[in-house]
A and B are shown apart, each in its own frame.
Chain A
Amino acid sequence: GAVVSQHPSRVICKSGTSVKIECRSLDFQATTMFWYRQFPKQSLMLMATSNEGSKATYEQGVEKDKFLINHASLTLSTLTVTSAHPEDSSFYICSARANRGGNEQFFGPGTRLTVL
């Protein structure tokens, strides 16, 4: 149980294009999902909290117009990196908190984004 998937696992795009990453909870419902970014040899950085049916809550310093989050259902959240630039290249990881459970978060496998 508690499986979270992400798609795509790896994406390479040109500078200026937009990239959409999907995060799905496969065997549980998740009102709340989280998006993290991790640069090489650094710790996880929480970007935003995604709430089903409402606007995402962004952490300080994260541009909400650049990182668009949509949480359309209890099992799906998407992150769109708009007008991507090389400095956006990173490992993006989503997690989900089960509606029935404690505060533990279950992570997806991550998406490695490379912007050329």
Chain B
Amino acid sequence: QKEVEQNSGPLSVPEGAIASLNCTYSDRGSQSFFWYRQYSGKSPELIMFIYSNGDKEDGRFTAQLNKASQYVSLLIRDSQPSDSATYLCAVSPFSGGYNKLIFGAGTRLAVHP
């Protein structure tokens, strides 16, 4: 079982719709959770982080965390073609040491006009 799992996609949504990206993790003691966006040929860019159960909103982005279900998601409202990228879920495991992050393989999002 992979430590952080994401559906590879592509997830295709029309412009203006809500894109829902999901991630599950195996380490129940994980402390913090991150979403990064990576455009093709570029390095990852931090979008959001969440530490507590529930929702956290930042502009068009909402991160949702459910530690009991070991599930974290990212919602993108009013999706734009510029949101088309690979979205990486990252988890800081309890036993990771040096605060390293475990990354999922990423979900490719395609927003079409």
A residues near B (Cβ < 8 Å) are 32, 34, 42-44, 46, 49, 51, 57, 93, 95, 97, 102-110
Q: Is the interface of B mostly helix, strand, loop or mixed?
A: loop
Whether A43 contacts B92 in the complex (CB less than 8 A), given A108-B43, A109-B43, comes out as: no
Residues of A within 8 A of B98 (CB): 32, 49, 51, 57
Does any Cβ of A come within 8 Å of B28's Cβ?
Answer: no
Contact B46 A104 (CB under 8 A): yes
Contact B106 A43 (CB under 8 A): yes
B residues near A (Cβ < 8 Å) are 31-32, 34, 36, 42-46, 49, 51, 88, 90, 92, 97-101, 103-106
A sample of 27 inter-chain contacts (CB < 8 A) reads A34-B100, A34-B101, A43-B88, A43-B103, A43-B104, A43-B105, A44-B88, A46-B100, A46-B101, A46-B103, A51-B98, A57-B97, A57-B98, A102-B32, A102-B49, A103-B34, A103-B92, A104-B34, A104-B49, A105-B90, A105-B101, A107-B36, A107-B43, A107-B44, A107-B46, A109-B42, A109-B43
Across the two chains, which residue of chain A brings its CB closest to B4?
A43
Contact B44 A44 (CB under 8 A): yes
Nearest CB in chain B: distance from A69 CB, A: 13
Contact B44 A103 (CB under 8 A): no
